[in-house]
A and B are shown apart, each in its own frame.
Chain A
Amino acid sequence: MSIFYFIAFLSILFAVLVISAKNPVHSILYLVLTFFTFTIQYVLLNAQFVAIVNFIVYMGAILVLFLYTLMLINLNKDSEPMKTNLVKIAAVLGGGCLLVVIVAALKAIGASDPVVFKDPNLGLVKNLGKVLFNEFLLPFEVSSLLLLSAMVGAVLLATKDPKTA
């Protein structure tokens, strides 16, 4: 349990550093570390597959793309859009309200009560695959369709219109 609290502390620390870092590239690197602490949490939960997929997909692919984009757009102090104080205050208030709602919701469903899995080895590849492709086959396939349509949409947006090009 103490490992959990230590890693959870690290997650929050790095997450705070993501928003407080002045340089956007540093932010992304802190975000990488945040995701790495999530990976450790998954391993502690005996969910090896989710851990390694989080590692590959988030740390290895998505954040590399973030970093890639940030390096290309070359943000610096001069070109960074400055926000007015009004926007900042509104953002703090909005964020605070969201926090209150989330805490209330978690308290209502009792998420802090320890949950005991029926099968502690559910996170291993074999068991997870069986559950996904038997019990949750339809949602799984539907979500893959969703991802595909998102990808096609992105490609369509990125390609130039043949009439104007």
Chain B
Amino acid sequence: METGEIIIRLVLIVVIFLISLVVAMYSTYAERKIAAFFQDRVGPNRAGPAGIFQPLADGAKMFLKEEIIPTNSSKFLFIVGPSLAIMTACIGSAVIPWGQQIQIGGKLYDLQVTDINVGLLYIFGVVSLGVYGIMIGGWASNNKYSLLGAIRAASQNISYEIAMGLSIIALLMVRNTLSLKEIAEQQHGWHWNVLYQPLGFILFIVCAFAETNRSPFDLPECETELVGGYHTEYSSMKLGFYLFAEYINMFVSSAVMVTLYWGSYNYPGMDWVAAHLGTVAAPLIGTVVVFAKIFLFIFFFMWVRWTIPRFRYDQLMDLGWKGLIPLAIANIIGTGLWITFVK
């Protein structure tokens, strides 16, 4: 790899990192505003015009609050928990393609940090690591509510990971690659995977809700039963990290869904745009399209949160094991038959 490419990669890493943080920050603001809209309230409106500086005020509050580490907790692991949570949330975005190749000074550069040929499995690895932050934090707090929250998080993640993996297998059978870059390229124009794998997409999005611990699957922090769930004992920025990690996870999982199922940077009429705007502007429009789709998904996450009530624990397990997994297996068989006899 030459110097120019390394610099581009470094810039890309920093930019993606900053974008994830800013999107996560303003997701909290968006969530409050959307909640307010759904409940016919005004929402945050004091800090700045229309409350636009509310996330900054929240951040300052989080940083300045007193930091409490419980006496009987396992101190090192108590700090490791939130650190792991935010770290695993941030590294998932490394394999996501944010746009087409862009031409600068006669050279083509990928708008992707790295294109490993097991990119999709890498995302799964990161997702499965995400639960450690919650489990370690919940256990180290030495609090029954925290421990119960952590245990719920672990069993929920493991159960839904299976259905998620199975829903992806059908997609891989159609697309024959694990590289997210190639999956994005294959969905040129309007050939989005959701048209070929509608059931797979529905399974995937349900599992994505469960993996990010978003409502209606937010049982690990169910306040009616568990006070605050796994972060009951946390205060100050450590609590902030847990909450922040959830929003970053939401951003990354939206990006994954857009890449896998909703055509990534592809949109109908992109060839016409590419022919008329040249090799710099057209990929940038593609990037704008990616982010527009991601924001739509983030909105969808919030929409569901303020519409559907939380599941009961046995309903959650029933849905995962008796509903999603058999459906995912049926989807694989159906896709296999379709490839063999129709395609």
Which A positions have Cβ atoms within 8 angstroms of B?
23, 25, 29, 32, 48-49, 52-53, 55-56, 59-61, 64-65, 67-68, 71-72, 124-126
Contact = CB atoms under 8 A, between A and B. Distances in A.
B125 A56 contact: yes
B117 A124 contact: yes
Interface string B113-144: 00011100110110111011001100100000
Interface of B: 74, 77, 116-118, 121-122, 124-125, 127-129, 131-132, 135-136, 139, 147, 150-151, 154-155, 157-158, 161, 178
A69 B16 CA distance: 37
Nearest to B116: A48
Contacts of B135: 64, 67-68, 71
A126 B179 CA distance: 11
17 contacts: A29-B77, A32-B132, A52-B121, A52-B124, A56-B124, A60-B124, A60-B125, A60-B128, A61-B128, A61-B158, A64-B131, A64-B135, A64-B157, A67-B135, A71-B150, A71-B151, A125-B178
Given A55-B128, A59-B125, 6 more contacts: A23-B74, A29-B136, A48-B117, A59-B128, A60-B131, A64-B131
Nearest to B131: A64
Contacts, number: 67
A59 B125 CA distance: 8
A48 B95 CA distance: 15
A118 B154 CA distance: 42
Given A52-B121, A56-B121, A68 B155 contact: yes
B313 to A, nearest CB: 15
A48 B125 CA distance: 13
A55 B154 CA distance: 17
Most buried by B among A23, A32, A52: A52
A116 to B, nearest CB: 23
A62 B100 CA distance: 38
Nearest to B120: A52
Given A48-B118, A60-B125, A71 B161 contact: no
Given A56-B125, A125-B178, A64 B132 contact: yes
B252 to A, nearest CB: 16
Most buried by B among A49, A59, A60, A65: A60
**Shortest Cβ-Cβ A-B pairs, 5 listed:** A60-B128, A55-B125, A52-B121, A52-B118, A68-B154
Nearest to A65: B158
Given A48-B118, A52-B125, A71-B135, A64 B158 contact: yes
A61 B161 CA distance: 9
B158 A49 contact: no
Contacts of B132: 32, 64, 67
Given A71-B139, A71-B147, A125-B178, A64 B128 contact: yes
A50 B145 CA distance: 37
A58 to B, nearest CB: 10
Nearest to B179: A125
Nearest to B154: A68
B276 to A, nearest CB: 37
B154 A25 contact: no
A25 B138 CA distance: 12
B178 A64 contact: no
A71 B132 CA distance: 13
Contacts of B158: 61, 64-65, 68
Contacts of A48: 116-118
B72 to A, nearest CB: 12
B191 to A, nearest CB: 23
B117 A60 contact: no
Contacts of A72: 151
B136 A49 contact: no
A31 to B, nearest CB: 12
A25 B154 CA distance: 15
Contact of A53 (B74, B121, B151, B161): B121
A56 B118 contact: no
Nearest to A63: B132
A67 B117 contact: no
